[in-house]
Structure 1
Amino acid sequence: MPGSIEICNLRNIRRLKFSIPDRGVWLLTGANGAGKTSLLACLRRLGSANAFPVHFPSSLRSERLDNHATGTVTYEINGTYVAYAYRGARWTPRPRSASHLFRNFGYASVTYVGATADRITPRPEDFDTRHVKTVDRQILVAANQIFQTDKFTNLRSINLTRGIGNNAFVLALGTTPQTYHSEKHFSLGELCVLKLLRLLKDVANNSMIIVDELEMALHPRAQVELLRYLEKQAKDKSLTVIFSTHSVTLLKTINHNRIIYLERQDDGTINPVVGCFPTYAIGNIAAEEETLPDIMLYVEDLFARDFLNAFFELFVDEKYGDPTLRPSAKIVPVGGFNEVVGFLDRNRSVLPASVRQKAVLDADVATETLAQWQNAKNHAKLARHQELKGYIAFLPFTPEVGLMDYAASNAMGFEQKVRERWGDNQLQVRSIVGKYNTSLTGPAKRQAAKKSINELMDYLKTRTQGTDELVREKLSGLYANLEWATYKPEFMTLFGSLT
């Protein structure tokens, strides 16, 4: 029966309350430093008394080094609690009478599997071909399926020690006399998967399997095949599989309800977001399998995205005569400016340094919001903005306001440009543009501009049978071409700093 774990003041975690998920495969993800490894260690403690000493070792040289004295890990199930803390020499439970609580979680076993390169290479004196055995067919079939090969049909194993055993994999080469390849000839990914398959074959029903970033050594296709195999095994054996990963492929493949994203808050609290869409978990970082753009830009909404896309195309046309030198860019609409900045802050640690990232906010954030923070002496928000200042830029306009201001300044000329853009000389937009009050300022002006834009888009969609996406893209492209000469210096500076 699922329970919960609460981790406090341990490593980078100020507080993390985690409800243990029910049966099935769950992907655990988050930025570096979000607490995934610490959480896996605490989950491992459900079945291993050595989990804390292994994952949270303390220095034998100084009590000031790697000291976990302030950390606590509290387990709860059915209203009963036990809290573990490091008290000088070892991790001990309080109350001691509740140390048996782990049995109540109902797992037949709890097993941790990581991407380890440990290999067993038989010494000549240990290797006796008479002790070579055929590997269970379930493992052979699964390995061939996961790696899309047939070579594991010749997989064998050998017990190198007597008694408790030390099983090593070998691969028969089909020679006469028969010769073999030892584990040192397997790739890291192959060896890790083989060990996991062997574990899954023998694991008892109702067990928990913890998999720590094993996919790092696997091709994306093999990652998907492994996920599907784990899902089948979890269903057949009522397993709880918690798979820690950064893989775009896995996050895009699994049902999003099975994603658990560890989101770090400003105060160090970690908030598990269960069932989020993969784009939220990984920052919308791949349009293709594991393909990253050269530039990632985070904006507030769809209009900002399409406006920025249009100006970016004009920028690369201006700067790069050779198409092969053009950088790729992905522009992601996130939400309000606070969400954009938070999204940027999280994803700086998710994407590699080769991907240049920046939040591009609407002009009103610079002209109004920052001023409000200054007047209100909101030092926390100002400090955060200052910390990320190098990663934040501003559009020279607020998209809807910029478009409507231009249209209202020359309604007849704007209508003609709209007709040219859509190839329809019967389009009439002057009456819509004429309703826009250019004398407004601040929030009132932005609201009026959005109202006029919505009316303009509804009219164009009805008359041209276009979609929201198409109409918005055409209006953005039209505005970019009309105002490129005006805003060229700003955009050359903005995009030039990223290339």
Structure 2
Amino acid sequence: MSNFTMKIRNVKNIKKLDFDIPTEKGLYALTGENGSGKSTIIASAASSFYVPWLYDYFGEPRETSKITFDLDGKRREIVAKENKSWSTPKEHIDINGFYEGSIVYGNRFRNSDYELVNKISRVSSEQLRPASEFVRKQLGLILRDDEDYYDEKLFTLKRELKLTFEKKYKIKTDLFYFSNQGSLVSQLQMSTGENLLLTVLRSLELRTNKKNDSKYPTYVYLDEIELALHPAAIHRFILFLEELVEKFNLIVFFSTHSSDILRRITPDNIFYVQNMLGGEVKLLNPCYPAFATRKLEAANYGYDFLIFVEDYLAQHIIEKVLKEQRLLSQRKILVLPIGGWKQVLKFASDIIHSHLAPASTKILIVLDGDIKEQVPSFIEEAELRFSRPPQYLPVPSLEKYLLHNLYENLDYDLMNELNDYIFQITSVEDIINNYKKNIKSGEYTKSNGKLNSGVNSGKNLYFLFNTELKKQRKTEKELVDCITEYLFRTNDKNLQKLNDFFREQLSK
């Protein structure tokens, strides 16, 4: 795996940030509250492959302002110069991509003054040619759910006029026109969503048509794009991006606080921006959508019971218990995965004591079974208060469950089940053997290793399983479903304790 790091020092409100930028294709999200630094981080990351208008983005640098990238032995630096300007990076680190800064910044029009708007508006139909099929169809599908909506209605400048506009107004992107009931509407006069999406689609078209000679994926950074798009359009846009990611080896990074986007991205690919004391910024990863949007979605917590758990395995086990015990009748119940057990406890405390859920809603906390002894001391140290003490699942975390039952104490029935239904190409045995080789080679104990955190936690083994899932175009949900079915079919003795707990709590 490649090692791609970005270090930000004294840029805007960020005093210090170290970020291991992913190098595996997929959809990713950077999220956090307003003013947390999302846009600064995403714009800084984009400067790994092009020279942005740094003064426009970050203002006048401080003496110690610096953005540094390191990628497999190559380095690229942007620093403050003596004249209080930003240096132009000369080093290339073999990264390709583009950045769209939504409403405020981006690659559209840097000088949209009245003269430009006037000139653009006076273009005649004879000076235009049809827009590409790619842009027309995708714009129609995403905004209207109709690929033919813009057929024979969407145009762009002919080459000669485009060159004139580029020379006189420094416009390097394509300009689009929509023929609406006999009138031409320029891109600058279109809705914000149309304007934004046209530029993104054209950039994607240019980038995917161009061969990527780099061994790394192409990076697409999109900053708060949801501000211009309807939720239904966001949904269709993400479906479109998911196809492009697989076909063209892309990494699409959203800077967002949209629950519509976050729900479509796996928690392993969500980074939550945390502002620490003194201006240092940390990124919490993995992050579950419920944690990232807890304050935005407080109004949606109109449930009789909220059950907070750590991960999707816990969610599936509890939802199956509730269904099989017929405990969903006449009750509105939501099971929310939050993240690590400390996050769950802090999250629950925040919801309770900030009154983010209605007073009539009962909150239950169910944690993985392997941390039961650590919880009381943490609750006391963090000064948390709960009227209902946390309960515990009959299994530890998904990572530890797989480590214990497939490596430390092999469960042949479970292994065969996973081979039959999930790992049909590369078997569980092959994955375990790969894990053993990595242990023997010292891969998980290297000081600079990407996976050395928690050697015995199961995270390293789970990384191998998750990598294989992606190769086979399968999801974590399929793995979780398989394990949950196995637990219930083998009638795990600890499940009865969970049954009794929910029957008691939900009958009060």
TM-score with structure 1 setting the length: 0.56
Is 1:196 aligned to residue 200 of structure 2? yes
State the partner residue of 1:259: 270
State the partner residue of 2:40: 38
Give the RMSD, CA atoms, in angstroms: 5.0
Q: Deviations over 1:174-200 (max 9, x none)?
A: x5xx43333366321222111111111
Question: Separation in 2 of the partners of 1:340 and 1:371?
Answer: 11
Q: Deviations over 1:78-125 (max 9, x none)?
A: 3344554324424566xx9xx543x1x212454444235967745588
State the partner residue of 1:158: 157
* Structure 1 contact 25–243 (Cα < 8 Å) conserved: no
* Structure 2 contact 263–289 (Cα < 8 Å) conserved: yes
* Structure 1 contact 298–340 (Cα < 8 Å) conserved: no
Matched residue type, 1:24: K
Question: Separation in 2 of the partners of 1:218 and 1:275?
Answer: 26
State the partner residue of 1:53: 55
Give the deviation of 1:53 after TM superposition.
1.8
State the partner residue of 2:27: 26
* Structure 2 contact 351–357 (Cα < 8 Å) conserved: no
Which of 192, 208, 224 is residue 235 of structure 2 equivalent to?
A: 224
Give the deviation of 1:6 after TM superposition.
1.2
Question: Separation in 1 of the partners of 2:132 and 2:202?
Answer: 9
Q: Considering only CA atoms, is the larger Rg found in Structure 1 or Structure 2?
A: 1
* Structure 1 contact 299–335 (Cα < 8 Å) conserved: no
Matched residue type, 2:67: V
Long gaps (5+) in structure 2: 213-217, 319-331, 366-375, 392-490
* Structure 2 contact 349–386 (Cα < 8 Å) conserved: no
* Gap change, CA 1:133 and 1:467, over 3 Å in 2: farther
* Structure 1 contact 28–262 (Cα < 8 Å) conserved: no
Which of 231, 254, 258 is residue 247 of structure 1 equivalent to?
A: 258
* Gap change, CA 1:84 and 1:336, over 3 Å in 2: closer
State the partner residue of 1:182: 186
TM-score with structure 2 setting the length: 0.56
Q: Deviations over 1:295-325 (max 9, x none)?
A: 99897899xxx9xxxxxxxxxxxxxxxxxxx
Give the deviation of 1:221 after TM superposition.
2.2
Matched residue type, 2:192: L
Q: Deviations over 1:264-308 (max 9, x none)?
A: 45665433344544344444976xxx9733699897899xxx9xx
* Structure 1 contact 44–51 (Cα < 8 Å) conserved: no
Give the deviation of 1:347 after TM superposition.
8.8
Which of 138, 146, 168 is residue 142 of structure 1 equivalent to?
A: 138
* Gap change, CA 1:132 and 1:333, over 3 Å in 2: closer
* Structure 1 contact 298–332 (Cα < 8 Å) conserved: yes
What is the 5 A alignment of 1:482-497? none
Is 1:5 aligned to residue 6 of structure 2? yes
Percent identical among aligned pairs is 18
Number of residue pairs matched?
A: 357
* Structure 1 contact 26–260 (Cα < 8 Å) conserved: no
What is the 5 A alignment of 1:264-413? 264-265=275-276, 268-283=279-294, 292-293=300-301, 339-340=343-344, 342-343=346-347, 394-395=386-387, 398=389
Q: Which moved more, 1:271-280 or 1:222-231?
A: 271-280
Matched residue type, 2:202: R
* Gap change, CA 1:74 and 1:239, over 3 Å in 2: same
State the partner residue of 2:95: 107
Question: Separation in 2 of the partners of 1:254 and 1:260?
Answer: 11
Which of 73, 77, 80 is residue 79 of structure 1 equivalent to?
A: 73
* Gap change, CA 1:122 and 1:168, over 3 Å in 2: farther
Matched residue type, 1:151: Y
* Structure 1 contact 143–194 (Cα < 8 Å) conserved: yes
Is 1:475 aligned to residue 490 of structure 2? no
Specify the SS of the correspondent of 2:194.
helix
